[in-house]
Amino acid sequence: MNYPDNKLNRRSFLKVSALAGGGMILSFNWLAGCKPNSSEILDLPKEWFRLNGYIKIGENGLITIMSPNPEGGQNVKTSMPMIVAEELDADWKNVRVEQAPLDTENFTRQFIGGSQAIRIGWNALRTAGATARQLLINAAADQWKVPASEIKTEPGFLIHVQSGKRAQFGEMASYAASLPIPENVELKKVDQFKIIGTSQRNVDIQKIITGKPLFGIDYKKEGTLIAMIIHPPSFGMKLKSFDASEARNMPGIKGVFEFKSLEDDYVRTFFDTVTFTDLIAVVGTSTWEVLNAKKAIQAEYEPISAYVEKRDRFGSEESRIVPAGQENTESQAEKMRIASLKPQELRRDGNPEEAFKKASKVIEKTYTGPFLAHNCMEPMNFFAHVQGDKVECAGPLQKPELTEQALSVRLGIPVENIHIEMTRLGGGYGRRSYAHWLIEAAVISQKLNAPIKLIYTREDDMTSGIYRSRYQATYRAALDENNQLIGFHINAGGLPENPIYPDRFPAGAVENYLAEGWEVPSNITTGSFRAPRSNFMAAVEQSFLDEVAEVAGKDPIDFRLELLEKAKQNPVGKNNDYDPARYEEVIKLAREKSDWATNKEGIAKGFSAYFCHNSYAAQVMELKMENGQALIEKVVSAVDCGIVVNPDAAKNLCEGAVVDGIGTALFGELTFEEGKPSKSNFDQYRMIRMKEAPKVIETYFVDNQIDPTGLGEPAYPPVFAALANSLYQGTGQRFYEQPFIKQLQS
């Protein structure tokens, strides 16, 4: 970890802060209330000293910690600096946080996705803080002429007990910045943590609640033009020609032209996912003028031909068949039925065919899940200014490093000449991983030689992808005469991807087990959706296990614990990707905290649990039925994600997952007619309403002091089945098709 020395005076620091997004130069103590006493806050220092890529310390002790990963509401902009501050032994009230720009030299995996930010950043963030702390200690030891081993720290201070000497971090920062980086540093033990494990307010909360510019949609720069795009109205079609004669003469319009976001011969990487690459750009001085010009353009489209799309999947080449034709929801279902008859074997344990032949009881159920739209609150947008061989960009995206590489190829400009500033995301969970709109904005800017702010309308976003795939799964279970589970078979697939994780529970817990998968090619663009694939597999697996438990005459929780005990004591197979002991623990915690064994009059209870993204989550949902409507009274969530960095923020994530999951399970659906999405805005795409959210959500965490694992996604998948299983208890009906509202209304 060698970082160049970097001394910044007040003037240069203000410039750096301004480039980082503006509004960050004011010291703000988020721990001191709405109107903190000025004496409690350190003023902006005259000089700053960079100790490493994460930390700058002012001469007066004010500390700036860079948050490397994009912030999309998961609170990493607070939690990641907390980890650095912990090992630095900083005084949290004197810490300020800045969103770091894309910087592949100082930071690794600078993106959000897969709930891996804290897990993968854990050691790097701690090491950065501990390294800076050791530099300060070494500086004090040199200045005071004492052994470094005798110097201790307490929040914000260096102390030499023997001589009584004491100094603020800022007093040693200048000298510390000139010292060589220590080769080895000692990290704290868990029981020494002072900041990690405490609840700290979101560092942006004051700006959020007062409407300060934080999001990409807020980004402004003098002379910026507004751009929008027009894409084909249906999948399976492409642009043939257009007439923009009227639009070009409308007030404020600076240009209307056709362009390609990605060249046809470009070998896409994993996140270069977009269907429509031949687009019409409409550019003007204001959003209103551009919107009106869009309506005046007459475009003609023609069918695409089938083709094979080649991709570079993190170093390995893969091909995807993109068929011709405009797809319909009904015809898709028939294709999925046919594909399910010829699946590919993904895992086999024992002799499942023989187990089903000998079974006393066989349970078989089929489940379906529709395409889903992300519907982020903040529309897709990005700022781009291409000037010769220099590119300046700003906006919300999840994978800036990967997008930067695609942008470099498309513009023919070296990566080192591209600067991407990351703004706060107004929603993401996969949608902003595929940042083709950044490339579109840059191509438009390059063509017009002007700064461009590209904005998608809600209709642009909802009708151009990227969606969660459409899925189907058939589950079969074989029980012997003693109601023991002796065989388990999954046949699942999707359009266009297979959702199965073949090595997850109950694999490893059943002697005879078979997992089979299949796929149906499609030209509809799909991609990551909160807890990819797990969001469907958890829903159907946990719903089915409840039904099997009922047939076996067992309590749903006892049934799962019985299987996990088998997986723990005598596991089947070698590739099981879950820890049965941790799985058991989180289920037991949910059972205890929900008072599962106690029945309440008029209240239906449903249980669900799932492992994904390295973490375990279990939920108990309580609801009552009134006039055919499900009123959700309470949800109890138990989560094992290892060490919880910021408890309040972690609870917020879990609460959001519960509300999001209930809304999606009840209402989420996108269908297609001749390749055209059936819904294009919120007047058609139903979202959960406040009165439909649970009255109470309780969240509990397993305290096991294991290094942190994922949290943004793991609490989401179990919600679907917790709802389905509680609805069964309340209505007497099983739910096999999402969204559940269709069956409830019928």
Domain spans of the chain, in order of start: 6-209, 216-307+380-455, 535-745
Same fold, 216-307+380-455 and 535-745: yes
Q: Does the structure show a pLDDT above 80 at 535? A: yes
* Separation of alpha carbons 421 and 98, rounded Å: 12
CA 434 to each of CA 122, 267, 538, 567: distance values in angstroms, whole numbers, following the listed order: 26, 15, 25, 38
Please give the single-letter amino acid code of residue 249: N
State the pLDDT confidence band at 9, using cuts at 50, 70 and 90.
Answer: very low
Average pLDDT over residues 283-302: 97
Helix 117-144 vs helix 169-176: angle between axes, to the nearest 10 degrees? Answer: 90
pLDDT averaged over every residue in the chain: 91
Burial label for 682, CB within 10 Å (0-12, 13-18, 19+), is exposed
Residue pair 47/9 in contact by the 8 Å Cβ criterion:
yes
| CATH-assigned architecture of domain 6-209 | 2-Layer Sandwich (3.30)
Name the percent of the chain lying above pLDDT 90.
Answer: 82
State the pLDDT confidence band at 222, using cuts at 50, 70 and 90.
Answer: very high
CA 392 to each of CA 278, 438, 708: distance values in angstroms, whole numbers, following the listed order: 24, 11, 35
Could you report the per-residue pLDDT of 418-440, keeping only the tens digit for each?
999 999 999 988 899 988 999 99
pLDDT of residue 317: 87
Average pLDDT over residues 345-354: 98
State the pLDDT confidence band at 6, using cuts at 50, 70 and 90.
Answer: very low
What is the CATH code for 216-307+380-455?
3.30.365.10
Structure tokens at 686: 């139903």
Q: Does the structure show a pLDDT above 50 at 164? A: yes
pLDDT of residue 41: 56
pLDDT of residue 628: 86
pLDDT of residue 15: 32
Could you report the per-residue pLDDT of 18-72, keeping only the tens digit for each?
333 322 222 222 223 333 344 455 778 888 888 888 999 999 999 999 998 888 8
* Separation of alpha carbons 84 and 129, rounded Å: 4
pLDDT of residue 153: 97
CA 590 to each of CA 149, 280, 593, 713: distance values in angstroms, whole numbers, following the listed order: 46, 53, 5, 18
CA 702 to mean position of chain CA atoms: 22
Query: At CB < 8 A and 24+ separation, what contacts does 688-695 make?
Result: 688/659, 688/660, 688/662, 688/663, 692/632, 692/662, 692/663, 692/666, 693/632, 693/659, 693/662, 694/621, 694/632, 694/633, 694/634, 694/635, 694/658, 694/659, 694/662, 695/632, 695/633, 695/634
Q: Does the structure show a pLDDT above 80 at 279? A: yes
Sign for the CA dihedral angle at 591, 592, 594, 600 comes to positive
* Separation of alpha carbons 717 and 724, rounded Å: 12
pLDDT of residue 23: 26
Structure tokens at 608: 């669900």
Could you report the per-residue pLDDT of 623-680, keeping only the tens digit for each?
999 988 999 999 999 999 999 999 999 999 999 999 999 999 999 999 999 999 999 9
Average pLDDT over residues 388-408: 92
pLDDT of residue 611: 98
Q: Is CATH 3.90.650.10 correct for 535-745? A: no
- Quote the pTM value: 0.91
In terms of pLDDT, which residue wins out, 6 or 382? Answer: 382
Q: Which residues of 385-411 are buried (b: 16+ CB within 10 A; e: fewer)?
A: bbeeeebbbbbbbbbbbbbbbbbbbbb
* Separation of alpha carbons 25 and 27, rounded Å: 6
Least reliable range by pLDDT among 206-210, 312-316, 501-505: 312-316
CA 191 to each of CA 92, 130, 469, 483: distance values in angstroms, whole numbers, following the listed order: 18, 16, 44, 46
SS3 string, 107-176, reads CCCCCCCCCCHHHHHHHHHHHHHHHHHHHHHHHHHHHHCCCHHHEEEECCEEEECCCCEEEEHHHHHHHH
* Separation of alpha carbons 242 and 296, rounded Å: 11
Q: What length is written for the chain?
A: 746
pLDDT of residue 249: 96
Q: List, in order, residues 6 or more apart from 377 with CB less than 8 Å away.
A: 426, 427
